[in-house]
Structure 1
Amino acid sequence: MQTTPITPELVRGALELERTAHGLLPHRLPARARAQCADPQLAMVESQPSGVRLVFRTRATTVELDTLPTKRVYLGAPPRPQGLYDLLVDGRPAGSGHVTGGHTLTVDLADGTAEHRPGPVGTLRFTGLPDTVKVVEIWLPYDETTELVALRTDAPVEHVPDPRGRVWLHHGSSISHGSVAASPTTTWPALAASLGGVELINLGLGGSALLDPFTARTLRDTPADLLSVKLGINVVNTDLMRLRAFGPAVHGFLDTIRDGHPGTPLLVVSPILCPMHEDTPGPSLMDASALSEGRLRFQAAGDPAETASGKLTLGVIREELARIVRDRSAEDPHLHYLDGRDLYGAADVDELPLPDGLHPDAAAHRRIGERFAALAFTPGGPFGKGTV
């Protein structure tokens, strides 16, 4: 087996690679953005490599990847599944696996405290690959912070030049991040990107799609051919702002993106259907009774009457986003709007209910990804070939 240094040329989907004591840590927000927010939730999710993958050409039949993951344990909640790595060979699924060992982050849901316990490097191993020259992709777990330590193969590795296909840059909440998808290539954005034939950069940030200016600047400064922003649910989850602040914040967010991408197709996507917050404001809180039974479930803690004083519900947010896009599109013909209920609506809730009240399951991720591709990437859609 021969070791190949893991260099930025082998990594796609990350905006920055931090050199650590063990190797390289992919980040999905640059250092300047990270420095502007002390929220530990944001620090955790931006370092979880949703959409990040190693890509190389080789005729190796055995591939080994050493990584140092950070695995989360929530006290009182059901055990979390191991983070999965997906293997693609020439674009087709060829296996999956997980890495044992790693650091452990134990979170006490009762008081929000966390304890970090260091652990060892682990190894992912794929064998029996075809003895032909092929493009290998290893997609990292979407929900485990992952330091890349070493890459070993039984044949030389070559960098795969950028295919210069269209790059789709997407920003959204935990649903866009991947929660609770089956694997990294089956989050809805990854599925939609595959169906649309585009290169994905996923800035879905669990709990952190909050119209932060540093996120808008990151979107502004990242080269892309297609842009989408899925906004709303986290603003309600956190009870972050009122209607008076929300509208101008959306305008400012879009203004900043347009400073760097004045003519790029830009799709604003409103929240999918989430029954508990359609007419009831946030915040979203964990259901203590469900937690006592070992189940994770959320509930809306706001009062519907408070919408009169400007508190936000998903219904209010959809109306405001649709209005903003309608008003701006007169001067911005490449700005588009998609109602999230066209991706997951009332009939879907009956067939594929949200397991914890907030997040779609693996089957719903697939449905959302397929519908997004059909609405956005087909001829006549905002991302159809031939768009600017």
Structure 2
Amino acid sequence: MSTPERHWTTTPLTADLVRGALELERTERGLLPHRLPAWARAQCADPQLALAESQPSGVRVAFRTAATAVELDTLPTKRVYTGAPARPDGVYDLVVDGRLAGQGSVSGGTTLTVDMATLATELTPGPVGTLRFTGLPDGDKDVEIWLPHNEMTELVALRTDAPVEPAARHGRKVWLHHGSSISHGSEATSPTATWPARAASLAGVELINLGLGGNALLDPFTARALRDTPADLISVKIGINLVNADLMRLRAFGPAVHGFLDTIREGHPRTPLLVISPLLCPIHEDTPGPTAFDLDALGAGKVSMRAAGDPADRANGKLTLTVIREELSRVVGERRPEDPHLHYLDGRALYGASDAAALPLPDNLHPDTATHAHIASRFAALAFAPDGPFPAGTSLPAGTSLPAGR
């Protein structure tokens, strides 16, 4: 008996079908999600920032449909590092009515080759690929396709075997989070396995993830992007990238934190705002940056990081994670009498010494998937507790519009 022919419906990919991006750029092929707006990107020419913000961590195509089959054409950009182990293809997560229902990858796409010695890059064009999910349950349902958190992805076409409409938001609060590569999702195996995505699922909130690998650097344009993004709850995880880059001294750090928070408060004067200090990272607890690749480990085919600073330089104002935690606690404590909606969370409550013994960081810097799950559970239990910094309450007021792609 032959299988009935499937009749596909092609739905234009528009902003009302994309969640978690601050902006959608129209390209020759389709739509490229960005997690920083164009005006912010124009203020910094760092290629690492350009790469990080265009990797769609937390971005998903969301719709309601009775379809049992879905196809999504995309053009991924895959990274290849010379001399380093091959990276796996990015993973797409299919979520149906809030539950993970499938995973897949897209072959082809553009290849970005990075020379580890010189950091020079070369782009090699490639073809569009197709992601396909079949066997979805019958009946109307909410469908989300979470894009790979670590692979730039242009959205080209969406096809289904039944019509689609934008998914409802169900009155859920919007949680806006900013952090480093750990928040971006480094070393997590799929986009819904990153700790912010898991925590958002546990808490039943809508995530906008501005975790920017290597770029949680107290940049003023990032603060303004946070200021201008409608949200019910905001968190900022500050510290590790400043040490990684050896970017700032103690004299500049405290005022920069004040300025960053001042800017956010211009747009969100009473929104619950949680400042999170660094998770435990043994190599940098008392040793300043910069952070460097362990070349011996790299030669053996393993990626590992080391602290290249001198502990004696703490006396000259170099930052360590211990120093940063002390300063963040002080800054938040100073501001709290005038800002009762501002809160502080020591990152070691999410991942501390006992956690490091049971779940060590594979490369001395980034958590693996199991550790992301652990951090998410801790965060959900602490931040979304009845007496926590993110209490239950109403979501964005009726009529509040989120800019394109959010």
TM-score exceeds 0.5: yes
Partners of 1:280 and 1:10 in 2: CA distance = 46
Equivalent in the alignment of 1:228: 235
The one-letter code sitting in structure 2 at the alignment partner of 1:119 is: G
1:88 and 2:95 aligned: yes
- Residue 384 of structure 1: how far off its partner (Å): 2.0
Partners of 1:158 and 1:192 in 2: CA distance = 27
1:268 and 2:275 aligned: yes
The two structures, once aligned, show a CA RMSD in angstroms of 0.9
Is 2:180–2:240's contact at 8 Å kept on the other side of the alignment? yes
Q: Which runs of 4+ in 1 moved over 4 A?
A: none
Alignment of 1:159-308 (within 5 A): 159-308=166-315
1:109 and 2:116 aligned: yes
Deviations 1:248-290 (A, max 9, x none): 0000000000000000000000000000000000000001111
Equivalent in the alignment of 1:8: 15
Deviations 1:134-187 (A, max 9, x none): 111000000000000000011111122333310000000000000011210110
TM-score under structure 1 length normalisation: 0.99
- Residue 77 of structure 1: how far off its partner (Å): 1.0
Q: Any idea what SS the aligned residue of 1:378 has? A: coil
Equivalent in the alignment of 1:35: 42
Equivalent in the alignment of 1:357: 364
Equivalent in the alignment of 2:350: 343
Q: 73-82 or 367-376: which moved more?
A: 73-82
Equivalent in the alignment of 2:146: 139
Equivalent in the alignment of 2:26: 19
1:327 and 2:334 aligned: yes
Is 1:378–1:384's contact at 8 Å kept on the other side of the alignment? yes
Q: Any idea what SS the aligned residue of 2:326 has? A: helix
- Residue 382 of structure 1: how far off its partner (Å): 0.4
Is 1:265–1:387's contact at 8 Å kept on the other side of the alignment? no
Is 2:173–2:394's contact at 8 Å kept on the other side of the alignment? no
Query: Match for 1:373 among 363, 367, 380?
Result: 380
Partners of 1:386 and 1:199 in 2: CA distance = 14
Deviations 1:8-62 (A, max 9, x none): 0000000000000000000000000000000000000100000000111111111
The one-letter code sitting in structure 1 at the alignment partner of 2:98 is: G
Partners of 1:164 and 1:264 in 2: CA distance = 17
Partners of 2:26 and 2:168 in 1: CA distance = 23
Query: Match for 2:106 among 94, 99, 107?
Result: 99
Partners of 1:208 and 1:104 in 2: CA distance = 23
- Residue 115 of structure 1: how far off its partner (Å): 0.9
Partners of 2:379 and 2:159 in 1: CA distance = 37
Partners of 1:307 and 1:200 in 2: CA distance = 37
1:121 and 2:124 aligned: no
Partners of 2:11 and 2:369 in 1: CA distance = 34
Q: Any idea what SS the aligned residue of 1:162 has? A: coil
Q: 251-260 or 73-82: which moved more?
A: 73-82
TM-score under structure 2 length normalisation: 0.95
Partners of 1:241 and 1:294 in 2: CA distance = 32
5+ residue gaps, structure 2, are 1-7, 396-406
Equivalent in the alignment of 1:318: 325
The one-letter code sitting in structure 2 at the alignment partner of 1:89 is: V
Partners of 2:267 and 2:155 in 1: CA distance = 31
Partners of 1:101 and 1:132 in 2: CA distance = 33
Q: 201-210 or 163-172: which moved more?
A: 163-172
Query: Match for 1:45 among 52, 55, 60?
Result: 52
Partners of 2:328 and 2:223 in 1: CA distance = 16
Is 1:77–1:291's contact at 8 Å kept on the other side of the alignment? yes
Equivalent in the alignment of 1:56: 63
Q: Any idea what SS the aligned residue of 1:374 has? A: helix
Partners of 2:335 and 2:165 in 1: CA distance = 46
Partners of 2:384 and 2:238 in 1: CA distance = 20
Deviations 1:285-336 (A, max 9, x none): 0011111111111110000000000000000000000000011001100000
